[in-house]
Amino acid sequence: MSVLRAAAQKIPGLAPGIFFFALMLDAAAGSALDLAVDLFGEGQWAAARTESLRARAEASGPEVDRARLLADVSALRMGSGREEAKSGLLALWRSESTDLEIRCMAAYEWGRADGADGGTNAPSALEFAYLQTRDTPLFWRAGCSLYFCLKADRKLHREKPVVWQSLQSCRDAWPPEVWRECTPSKKGVSMAALPGQWVVAFYRAQIGPAIGSRCDLLPSCSEYFLQASRAHGLLGVPLMADRFVREPSVVSARERPVTMPDGRIRYADPVSDHDFWMKGKGK
Amino acid sequence: MKTTILGLCAVWTAGCAWAADPARLALDLDAERQREAAAIEFRRLALADGNAENAARWFWLAAYEYAQAQQWELSNQMLDRVEDAAPLSLSAPVAWRRAENAMQEKDWTAATFHFDSLRLKADADEMREFAARGSAAARLRGKDVAGARQALEDAPGDLGPAHAAIDRYAGRRDKKPWVGGVLGIVPGLGYVYSGEYANAARSLILNSLFIWGMAETAEDDEWGVFAVLTFAEFTWYSGSIYGGIDSAQRHNQRRLDAAAGDIRGEKKLRPDLAQVPLFTLKFEF
């Protein structure tokens, strides 16, 4: 299981919209899905999902399946309704009456999601997409994803010698951008940002609940420190000290008030106002 | 029966009103300040409109709404679609929106270019004056004082206050952040350099308290407390140095903001949405 999980972590991310543009290009001009596709391409997941659902209600024929696919993938990207979206994609993948390219796309997206959740069926979904699709970008990405999956799992690798051999011979054809997308990313919190995170986690768990919300600035001081340490590592410490010193002046100046949902007024003081001059921040 | 007929009439009337004003939802969302939702509705109208010029207008309105929602990149994408749908049909409004978006994105070169372009495309003196002021403000923000003066030359309107703002800005010097940082070695002095006296007093008091605490605990051999206080003092002390640098930067930024604001003046441009998709740009004070 742990091997599978490790393999799953290596399943690549997908640049938004890349496939869908290709997939939707053959949709009739003036399709009800045009707007949803545009929104998806722009990374506006929630709006794309709403538009897809609207288009699904109005569409007929194969357009319904496209709308379902887009709605489910948007939901996956949003991170909400994940299980529902996954079961929708699984149903699309398994439905033999659905257009094959849509099934391949659904299999690919389901495989990624299942792999990320530590499921065991990601390789079979990716293999389906890899072997069945006629869409070149999907072929590359499904192949590359499957390659990393099999590479991380020796048992699976031995069970599928033909596929492995095929991937080995195809890999030279994958363009650099596919490799870039598919190479396991090592995004994480930098070591320098870790102490800041610990301090904020301790404050939020042990001190914050006892003293309540006392900060009059937006973002709150703990959030400011978190953002500053993420952006600048240990330099977050003097940024935070400077903010503590400035806080009364910012509040008394009453510039840029923001009304919070609970009606309380806070004053905007984002990190970007205090690091705009650092290298690479300002223009 | 009578009730049913009346009900049907009401539904029919509502349907007719909707058909006559397809932008109602978008305009309502705009009035409720739900800018992104309004932009999506305008985009829907653009995609559904077979007339290229009208589609371009809907896209422009979507760009405007995205800009109101501070989504500059999406706003620029919509402006690209305006130009794709009907090149040259909305050149002045597109130039204006691109210029404002570039200002928000702090791309002073692009902002200058688009304001200059707006000045060439404008057909009224008021708009030419507005564009000249925008171009001067963008150049000043790009630290091009001579260029800012040049942008106002030959422009129509009363530009005396704008010239005066440039003179005021050029007549004083920026604070040097490195000087603020060096002065910050003495707690609070960096803030004093930039005129933030209250912050300076707080920084001085905090640093003094913690240094005093460190001295007392060291004298009493309470090394555990000493370590905690030293860590805290390190925070305040580094904050004083950083604050010296940042306060100088803030001071310079405020000075620049004030000068650019004076150059641009009180006039604001807004589209009149009374007859969408047709719209006109109007000045507000």
Compare CB distances from B238 to A35, A241, A273 and report the shortest one's residue.
Answer: A241
**Region class of A162: left (phi > 0), else alpha (psi between -120 and 50), else beta:** alpha
In angstroms, the CA B285 to CA A255 distance is: 21
How distant, in Å, are the alpha carbons of A216, A280, B239 from that of A260?
A: 11, 32, 29
CA–CA separation, A82 and B11 (whole Å) = 39
The minimum CA-CA distance between A106 and chain B, rounded to whole Å, is 26
Of A182, A214, A241, the domain-final residue: A182
Spatial separation of the C-alpha atoms in residues A186 and A244, rounded to whole Å? 34
Q: Are residues A15 and A114 in the same domain?
A: yes
Q: CA of B199, closest CA in chain A: separation in Å? A: 6
Dihedral sign from CA coordinates of B275, B277, B281, B284: positive
How far does the CA of residue A51 sit from the closest CA of chain B (Å)? 9
Per-residue confidence (pLDDT) for residue A6, from 0 to 100: 41
Question: How far is residue B63 from each of residues A49, A160, B7, B43, B74, measured CA to CA in Å?
Answer: 21, 51, 39, 9, 7
Distance CA(A282)–CA(A275), nearest Å, equals 8
Structure tokens at A45: 């997941």
Question: Nearest CB to B196: which of A38, A44, A249?
Answer: A249
In a domain, A280, yes or no: no
- From the list B202, B234, B204, B248, the residue with the least C-alpha distance to A237 is B234
Chain A residue at shortest CA distance from B231: A237
In the block, tokens 């357009």 appear at A63
Q: What residues contact A213, with CB distance under 8 A and at least 6 apart?
A: A220
Distance CA B78, CA A162 (A): 48
Note the pLDDT of residue B132. Answer: 92
Instruction: Determine the structural domain holding residue A235 and report its residue range.
Output: 191-275
- C-alpha distance from A43 to closest chain B C-alpha (Å): 10
Query: Of A151, A182, A213, which marks where a domain is finished?
Result: A182
| Chain B residues with CB within 8 Å of chain A CB | 36, 40, 43-44, 47-48, 74, 77, 106-108, 177, 191, 196, 198-199, 202-203, 206, 234-236, 238-243, 246, 249-250, 253
Is the ipTM higher than 0.85? The answer is no
Report whether CATH 1.25.40.10 matches the domain B24-172: yes
Q: How many domains does chain A have?
A: 2
Tokens of B239: 């904050």
Distance (Å) from the C-alpha of residue A206 to the closest C-alpha of chain B?
A: 18
User: What is the structure's pLDDT at B169?
Assistant: 92
Check: CB of residue A113 under 8 Å from CB of residue A89.
yes
For A235, which DSSP code? G
Q: Are residues A206 and A84 in the same domain?
A: no
The bridge status of strand A257-259 relative to strand B268-272 is unpaired
Is omega for the bond preceding A219 within 30 degrees of 0, making it cis?
A: yes
Q: Would you list the domain boundaries of chain B?
A: 24-172, 177-263
> Strand, coil or helix: what is B98?
helix
Strand order in the sheet with A257-259: A217-218, A265-268, A257-259
User: Closest-CA residue in chain A for B203?
Assistant: A245
Token output for B47: 């995609």
Q: A256 and A148, same structural domain?
A: no
Report yes or no: B212 and B161 within 8 Å, Cβ to Cβ. Answer: no
Rg of the Cα atoms in chain A: 24
A83 in a structural domain: yes
Contact (Cβ atoms closer than 8 angstroms) between residue B206 and residue A234 = no
Pairwise CA distance, residues A67 & A32, whole Å? 9
Place of tokens 């840029």: A256
**Residue whose structure tokens are 């399946």:** A65
Let me know whether A161 and A23 are in one domain. yes
Indicate the residue of B40, B108, B239 with minimum beta-carbon distance to A242. B239
Report long-range pairs for B97-104 (Cβ below 8 Å, ≥24 apart).
B97/B60, B97/B63, B97/B64, B97/B67, B99/B131, B99/B134, B99/B138, B100/B67, B100/B134, B101/B67, B101/B72, B101/B75, B101/B76, B102/B138, B103/B134, B103/B137, B103/B138, B103/B141, B104/B67, B104/B70, B104/B72
Establish if A282 belongs to a structural domain: no
Residue A281 lies inside a defined structural domain of this protein: no
Facing residue for B239 by CB, picked from A30, A241, A273: A241
Which residues are within 8 A (CB) of A129 and not within 5 positions of it... i.e. 6 or more apart? A104, A105, A107, A108, A111, A138, A142
Separation in Å, CA of A222 to nearest CA in chain B: 15
Return the pLDDT at B96: 93
Amino acid of residue A125: A
A37's CB contacts (< 8 A; 6+ apart) are A17, A20, A21, A24, A48, A70
Residues of A within an 8 Å Cβ radius of B: 30, 34-35, 38-39, 42, 44, 47, 51, 235, 237-242, 244-246, 248-249, 273-274, 276-277, 282-283
- For residue B159, the SS3 value is coil
How many whole angstroms separate alpha carbon A206 and alpha carbon B164? 55
CA of A144 vs chain B CAs: smallest distance (Å): 31
Structure-token pair, residue A266:
């806070």
CA pair distance A270, A228, nearest whole angstrom? 10
Distance CA B71, CA B68 (A): 7
Question: Is residue A283 included in any domain, yes or no?
Answer: no
CATH number, position A86: 1.25.40
CB contact under 8 A, A277 and B249: yes
Q: What sections of A95-193 are H helices per DSSP?
A: 100-116, 122-132, 136-152, 154-159, 161-170, 176-182
Q: Which of A229, A243, A233, A230 is nearest to A274 (CA)?
A: A243
Q: What's the maximum distance between 2 C-alpha atoms anywhere in chain B?
A: 98
Contact A137, A129 (CB under 8 A): no
- Which among B40, B47, B238 is the nearest to A237, CB-wise? B238
**Cβ-nearest to B199 among A38, A44, A245:** A245
| Residue stretches of chain A with pLDDT short of 50 | 1-18, 20-22, 24-29, 282-283
Interface test with B, best of A242, A258, A274 (most B CBs within 10 A): A242
Torsion, CA A28, CA A106, CA A67, CA B55, rounded to 10: -50
d(CA A267, CA A252): 10
Pair B188, B203: CB distance under 8 Å: yes
Of B40, B106, B199, the CB nearest to A249: B199
For residue A244, list chain B residues with Cβ-Cβ distance below 8 A: 206, 239
**Rounded (10°) angle between helices A45-58 and B35-48:** 40
Are A26 and A43 contained in the same domain?
Answer: yes
| A165, A182, A199 - which closes a domain | A182
One domain, residues A131 and A240: no
Q: Which residues of B touch A221 (CB under 8 A)?
A: none
Binary contact (B243, A282; C-beta < 8 A): no
In chain B, residues with a C-beta closer than 8 Å to the C-beta of A277 are 177, 246, 249
Distance separating alpha carbons of residues A120 and A111, to the nearest angstrom:
9
Distance, in angstroms, between A150 CA and closest chain B CA? 39
- Residue A30's pLDDT is what? 54
Contacts with B77 from chain A: Cβ below 8 Å: 42
Residues of chain B whose pLDDT is less than 70?
A: 1-20
Chain A residues lying within 8 Å of B240, measured CB to CB: 241, 245
Q: Do A27 and A65 touch, CB atoms closer than 8 A?
A: no
b/e map A89-125, b = 16+ CB within 10 Å: bbebbeeeebbebbbbbbbbbbbbbbbbeebeebbeb
**Do A128 and A229 sit in the same domain of this protein?**
no
Residue A245, domain member (yes or no): yes
Please report, for chain B, how many H helices and E strands are present, in that order. 14, 2
Question: Between chain A and chain B, how many beta carbons pairs sit less than 8 Å apart?
Answer: 71
Contacts of B26 in chain A (CB under 8 A): none
Answer whether A282 sits within 8 Å of B106, measured CB to CB. yes
CA-based nearest distance B123→chain A, Å: 32
Q: Which residue of A has its CA nearest to B184?
A: A242
